[in-house]
A and B are shown apart, each in its own frame.
Chain A
Amino acid sequence: MSLLEVNDVHTYYGNIHALKGISFTVDEGEIVTLIGANGAGKTTTLRTVSGLMKPRNGTVFYADENIHDYEAHKMVSKGIAMVPEGRGVFGKMSVKENLELGAYYRNDAAGIRQDMEYMFSLFPRLGERHSQVAGTMSGGEQQMLVMARAMMSRPKLLLLDEPSMGLAPVLVDSVFDTVKRVSQEGMTILLVEQNAHMALQIADRGYVLQSGEIVLSDSAKNLQNDPIVQKTYLGVD
């Protein structure tokens, strides 16, 4: 049984039909990536899973529970965390407060403190800057912060929306390293990326999204070798 099972989901922005009946699954422990051009519907897919948007039709099952009409704020306690597109740090709050907000639904003060120490060991930079106002941190540091913040809720399923966007190549590598590391610790990951090259390197499986529809799904390896994927998303001639 899959951890996440999306069945024939249709999501709209007003009259704009953004997701036209997409279905996919994510199994426990997997890294699954969604690739697609701008406007394909990748963000909309994550927003639908996280409850920020409601699908008009279709079902979203998470751990065998139909969650598609749950409020977004309920999802966190179910074990779903999302790193939104464009990061979304709370810029006026300190690094520490941002992390505490990640653990908002939890009430185990000792566990939260422990997890925070753990994040500081994963991202020593955040530890050094724990009282800095998050808005004044660099793009790379903010990316670390939002990843750490999402993990503070101890999610089972982590939704990542273009974590490498706008980062220098060195930082892109470190972001993907982190994703891999988090995955090795048992977290399940649904990764949206423009950088299909990197995403397919760390993913187990992938789906290709085009104008709100899934046009291709396969193992990451096969997708890397698929001529259409190579041409359209990997820039190979």
Chain B
Amino acid sequence: MNVEPPVRVEDKLYYNRYLVDVGHPHVKVRAHTRPSPQLLALLKACPARCYELNDDGQVEITVDGCIECGTCRVIAEPTGDIQWSHPRGGYGVLFKFG
């Protein structure tokens, strides 16, 4: 087994510029008691680690660091687990390089 240093995604996101649309999250998780396998997959698959498990074992999202890749939409929109839209015009991540 090779031991790997944990990756701190927060540090990575710190490089980026965002214009957060406070109060208008563009991705929403449907209320649930037990998360589906698709929702659970997002905990690992989201490159910005926007999805987290709360103390009750439900999957929650904080969209502030979202880099708008669409991965969660591809995985969990078909099952109705999440609702995914683009942020309002001008909001969200602002790549300087891309």
Q: Do A and B come from one complex?
A: no
Chain B residues proximal to chain A, CB less than 8 Å: none
